[in-house]
Amino acid sequence: MEQSYYAVIFTSVQTENTEGYAEMAEKMENLAKQQPGFMAIEHARNEIGITVSYWQTLESIKKWKANLDHMVAQKKGRDQWYSYYKVRICKVEREYAFTH
């Protein structure tokens, strides 16, 4: 990739009460994919959850954060699903990969 882009890294620890979480996570991923500037998403969960979404611009990240449905999910996360989370926004200036 020649042009830089942005990664939003969301790390979290869930509470015991995860009722409705999987459904909301799927809904938010599908909604994010429809947003202008969205590029891709990757995630993993063990004790700590890590979700990385990739965006073309900082403006597209701001608009996603302000999306009304996403704001509802954010509040539910703070009130019920997460005991901790952190968001990092990083500029990706270079990437490379290995495929066997």
pLDDT at 37: 97
Q: Which of 28, 53, 25 is nearest to 38 (CA)?
A: 53
Task: With beta carbons less than 8 A apart as the criterion, state whether 42 and 52 touch.
Answer: yes
Go through the domains of the chain in sequence order and give each one's CATH number. 5-92 (3.30.70.100)
- CB atoms inside a 10 Å sphere around CB 77: 19
Q: What is the DSSP letter of 91?
A: E
pLDDT at 73: 96
Q: Does residue 6 carry a pLDDT above 80?
A: yes
Q: Which of 35, 22, 41, 43 is nearest to 69 (CA)?
A: 35
The mean pLDDT of 68-95, rounded to a whole number, is 96
The mean pLDDT of 65-93, rounded to a whole number, is 96
Q: Does residue 1 carry a pLDDT above 90?
A: no
pLDDT in tens, 33-74: 999 999 999 999 999 999 999 999 999 999 999 999 999 999
pLDDT in tens, 11-37: 999 999 999 999 999 999 999 999 999
Q: Can you tell me the distance from the alpha carbon of 18 to that of 82, in angstroms, rounded to the nearest whole number?
A: 9
Q: Can you tell me the distance from the alpha carbon of 86 to that of 63, in angstroms, rounded to the nearest whole number?
A: 19
pLDDT at 3: 86
Task: With beta carbons less than 8 A apart as the criterion, state whether 38 and 60 touch.
Answer: yes
